[in-house]
């Protein structure tokens, strides 16, 4: 589709001074949607029961992973499932009790492992990730803290050259789509990250990736900017989207309060499921647990966010400490967190960095909203034309928050979007 320049936005739709929008979900995607709607002149209310910053993205590696466009499913994935069931300490685990409930989702997931599907998904995702920094720029410019993103690249280290060779086809696919990587030897790894000196001789540098200074603080800063510009945040649950004559008229809250709205955006991650019937969609959205350990006083200085591929986790230096995590668990809906997995991460991290101080730590888990093809939903409801959907970003919520917000803003205002959103349709699953 052809884009309509922002300077011509008034030709598409200009909200009246009384036109209100409600965003359900105050995580990174929701707050970015709210900010972009606010930039277009809407009076915006953001609804979320959690405190600002206390969302799924808080317990993430905090990376702007612009070339992480390869789907989680890869050729041969089906053969690995028995191992996930047996080894509950591995970087990717499947609780046996979760298998019956997640089986339909898993069948779709495995179907995305064909090479042709991987290429198609990567190409679609690249259309979004190419605009990440451009889309975040105006939102960050409005924040008081100008150092919310750390201006240094991301490293990935491997135990042996075979790890990089295994990734070669995907590195080549990324490069064909405009994303670079650089091979690192032992000396280069040690120079970039002295804490890892002598530990790794094989690595990659992703020069176009960045990391946030703090996952919780990053989202909270954007939320403060939203409030400072006249936005309203309501700390409770949205229980119902009200409707009349084929359009949403507002949102009803858990306390019975009703907030009127000309437009509604559903951006509540896995919590978006409660609205699917109202929206007229059937979407296989599952929450996949990602565990993290936060060391408030780690005793080791890390200069970069570093992915340890063979260990299945990432070191993420933040202003509130060193966050270590990234393992994935298919646990099933409503399953309680298994924080033993966070302990396993810490045990592996101490083998890499024996000097880690673990006396002051915090465990956390984020339930990543995953769709089987690893692509988000960015779409409009066909049943309620003034309701928009923005969820299912998996591990790329932080990366794609602003880009999703800009696209939702364009759709609400009636502008033609820069990207073709057909690959991200809510109706692609039938």
Following DSSP, what letter does each residue of 345-414 receive, concatenated?
Answer: HHHHHHHH-TT---SSEEEEEEEEEE-TTS--EEEE-SSSTTEEEEE--GGGHHHHHHHHHHHHHHHHHT
Tokens linked to 213: 């200074």
DSSP classification of residue 183: E
- CB atoms < 10 A from the CB of 18, how many? 8
pLDDT at site 399: 98
Residue that wins the pLDDT comparison between 88 and 240: 240
Enumerate the domain spans of the chain: 6-56+218-284+374-424, 72-113+147-210+285-370
Three-class SS of 193-245: CHHHCCCCCEEEEECCCEEECCHHHHHHHHHHHHHHCCCEEECCCEEEEEEEC
For residues 39 and 24, give the distance between their C-alpha atoms in angstroms, rounded to a whole number. Answer: 18
pLDDT at position 71 over 60: yes
Exposed/middle/buried for residue 228 (C-beta within 10 Å: 0-12, 13-18, 19+)? exposed
Q: What is the helix, strand, coil percentage profile of the chain, to 5?
A: 35, 25, 40
Six token digits for residue 63? 């990376």
Structure tokens at 190: 């040690």
* pLDDT at position 1: 36
pLDDT-based confidence at residue 16 (cuts at 50, 70, 90): low
- Compute the distance between CA of residue 350 and CA of residue 356 in angstroms, rounded to an integer: 6
Average pLDDT score over residue span 281-307:
96
Mean pLDDT of the chain: 92
CA 222 to chain centre: 16
Q: What percent of the chain has pLDDT over 70?
A: 93
Query: CB burial class (10 A; 0-12, 13-18, 19+) of residue 303?
Result: middle
Q: For the stretch 324-345, what's the b/e string if a residue is b when 16 or more beta carbons lie within 10 angstroms of its beta carbon?
A: bbbbbbbbbeebebbeebbebb
Q: pLDDT for 397-424, tens place per residue?
A: 999 999 999 999 999 999 999 999 999 9
Q: How confident is the model at residue 2 (pLDDT cuts 50, 70, 90)?
A: very low
**Phi, psi angles (nearest 5°) of residue 140:** -75, -30
The DSSP line for 247-304 is EEEEEEETTS-EEE-SEEEE--GGGGGGGHHHHT-----EEEEEEEEEESS-SS--SS
CATH number at 6-56+218-284+374-424: 3.50.50.60
Is 72-113+147-210+285-370 in CATH node 3.40.50.1700?
no
In this prediction the pTM is 0.93
What are the angstrom distances between the C-alpha of 255 and each of 23, 239, 274, 275, 377? 17, 9, 17, 18, 29
What pLDDT score does 266 carry? Answer: 98
pLDDT in tens, 135-164: 999 999 999 999 999 999 999 999 999 999
CB-side neighbour CA atoms (13 Å) of 217: 15
Exposed/middle/buried for residue 291 (C-beta within 10 Å: 0-12, 13-18, 19+)? buried
Tokens 């890892």 -> residue: 196
Distance CA 59, CA 308 (A): 17
Total Cβ atoms within 10 A of residue 26: 27
């Amino acid at each position: 589709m052809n884009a309509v320049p922002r300077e011509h936005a008034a030709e598409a739709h200009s909200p009246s001074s009384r036109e209100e929008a409600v965003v359900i979900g105050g995580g990174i995607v929701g707050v970015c949607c709210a900010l972009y709607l606010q930039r277009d002149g809407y009076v915006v209310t953001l609804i979320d029961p959690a405190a600002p910053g206390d969302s799924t993205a808080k317990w993430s590696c905090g990376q702007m992973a612009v070339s992480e466009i390869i789907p989680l499913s890869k050729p041969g994935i089906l053969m690995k499932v028995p191992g996930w069931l047996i080894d509950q300490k591995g970087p990717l685990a499947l609780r046996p009790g979760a298998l019956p409930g997640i089986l339909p989702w898993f069948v779709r997931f495995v179907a995305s492992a064909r090479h042709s599907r991987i290429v198609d998904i990567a190409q679609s995702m690249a259309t979004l990730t190419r605009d990440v920094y451009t889309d975040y720029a105006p939102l960050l410019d409005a924040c008081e803290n100008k150092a919310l993103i750390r201006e240094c690249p991301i490293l990935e280290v491997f135990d042996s050259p075979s790890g990089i060779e295994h990734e070669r086809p995907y590195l080549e696919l990324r490069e064909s789509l405009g994303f670079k990587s650089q091979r690192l030897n032992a000396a280069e790894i040690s120079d970039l990250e002295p804490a890892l000196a002598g530990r790794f001789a094989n690595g990659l540098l992703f020069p176009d990736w960045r990391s946030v200074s703090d996952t919780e603080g990053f989202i909270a800063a954007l939320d403060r900017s939203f409030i400072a510009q006249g936005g309203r945040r309501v700390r409770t649950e949205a229980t119902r989207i009200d409707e009349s004559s084929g359009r949403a008229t507002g949102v009803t809250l858990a306390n019975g309060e009703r907030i009127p709205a000309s437009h509604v955006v559903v951006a509540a991650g896995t919590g978006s499921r409660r609205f699917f019937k109202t929206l007229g969609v059937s979407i296989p959205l599952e929450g996949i647990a990602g565990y993290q350990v936060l060391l408030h006083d780690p005793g080791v200085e890390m200069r970069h966010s570093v992915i340890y591929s063979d260990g299945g986790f990432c070191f993420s230096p933040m202003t509130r400490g060193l966050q270590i995590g990234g393992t994935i668990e298919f646990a099933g809906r409503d399953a309680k967190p298994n924080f033993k997995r966070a302990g396993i991460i810490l045990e592996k991290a101490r083998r890499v960095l024996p000097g880690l101080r673990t006396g002051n730590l915090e465990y956390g888990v984020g339930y990543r909203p995953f769709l089987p093809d690893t692509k988000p939903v960015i779409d409009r409801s066909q049943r309620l034309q003034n309701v928009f959907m923005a969820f299912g970003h998996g591990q790329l919520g932080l990366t794609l928050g602003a880009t999703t917000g800009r696209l939702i803003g364009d759709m609400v205002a009636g502008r033609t979007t820069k990207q073709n959103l057909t690959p991200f349709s809510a109706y692609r699953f039938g």
